[in-house]
Amino acid sequence: GENVEQHPSTLSVQEGDSAVIKCTYSDSASNYFPWYKQELGKGPQLIIDIRSNVGEKKDQRIAVTLNKTAKHFSLHITETQPEDSAVYFCAASITRDNDMRFGAGTRLTVKP
Amino acid sequence: DAGVIQSPRHEVTEMGQEVTLRCKPISGHNSLFWYRQTMMRGLELLIYFNNNVPIDDSGMPEDRFSAKMPNASFSTLKIQPSEPRDSAVYFCASSFKRGTYNEQFFGPGTRLTVL
C-alpha cells in the first residue's frame, strides 16, 4: 500500500520568512496530493491540493510542487504569519480507490 | 452548510465500557471515512464507505471496533469493550466522489479518553 513520509516533524520560522515542508510517497499510481492544516482542537482543513497532471499550483502565499519522477511533493508558505502556526499534513491517494494516506505531520511555529 | 458533524465532542469512559461515536456527513456526499489520531501513530484511516457500503476496513485495529452506515446521513463507530489504548481523537470525514475529485472534509473530532 501507499506510504507517505513527511519532513521535518517540527519547523520554526520568523514571521515573514518562508517555510517548506516536504513529502515523499511510494505508490507511483497515486495521483492526488492534498495538504491539510490542523489547528489546535480542530479537524484537518484542506488548504491546497495538486493532481498528478500538474507540476505546480499556487494560491496566494501557498504553493505546492510535485515531482512525479522522484515521487515527492512540497508545500511552500511565503511571508509567514503567526496565524500560519499549526500542524500541516500531506497526503496521497489514488482517486479511483478513494483511500488517502497521510504523512506524520509537521508542526509549524511562526514566531512574531 | 454545517459541515461534518460529530458527537460527542468529548467522551470519558472506563475500561470495558461500550463507546459509540457518531457522524453526520455533509449532505450530498457519498463517501465517509473514519480516522484515528494519536501522537504516536499520527492520522490513521480506520474504515471508509462509498454509498453506505464499507469498502476497506483493513485499518480497523481489532474486532472490538465496528462501524456502520445505515443511511447516507449517519454513521457510527463503536468500540466494545473499550481499552485505555483506544484513547485518541477520532475524526469523521466525507467527500463527494465524482471522477477524479476527492477532497475530504473533516469533522471537529471526538476526543476519547478511556480510563
pLDDT band with cut points at 50, 70 and 90 for residue A108: very high
E-state strands within B1-115 = 5-7, 10-13, 19-24, 31-38, 42-50, 53-56, 65-71, 74-79, 88-95, 105-106, 110-114
Query: pLDDT at position B101, please?
Result: 59
Residues of B in contact with A100 (CB under 8 A): 33, 45, 102, 104
* Chain B residues within 8 A of A44 when measuring between CB atoms: 43, 91, 106
What would the pLDDT profile of A9-57 be if each residue is shown by its tens digit?
999 999 999 999 999 999 998 989 999 999 998 999 999 999 888 889 9
Q: How many CB pairs under 8 A join A and B?
A: 55
Nearest residue on chain B to A95, judged by CA atoms?
A: B100
DSSP notation for A34-79: EEEEE-TTS--EEEEEEETT-SEEEETTEEEEEETTTTEEEEEE-S
Q: Does A54 lie at the interface with B, CB-CB under 8 angstroms?
A: no
Distance from CA of B17 to the nearest CA of A (A): 25
pLDDT of residue B18: 97
- Give the pLDDT confidence of B20-61 residue by residue, as tens digits: 999 999 999 999 999 999 988 889 999 999 999 998 888 898
Least confident of B32-36, B47-51, B63-67, B94-98: B94-98
Instruction: Say if A103 is an interface residue toward chain B (CB within 8 Å).
Output: yes
Q: Do B100 and A46 touch (CB under 8 A)?
A: no
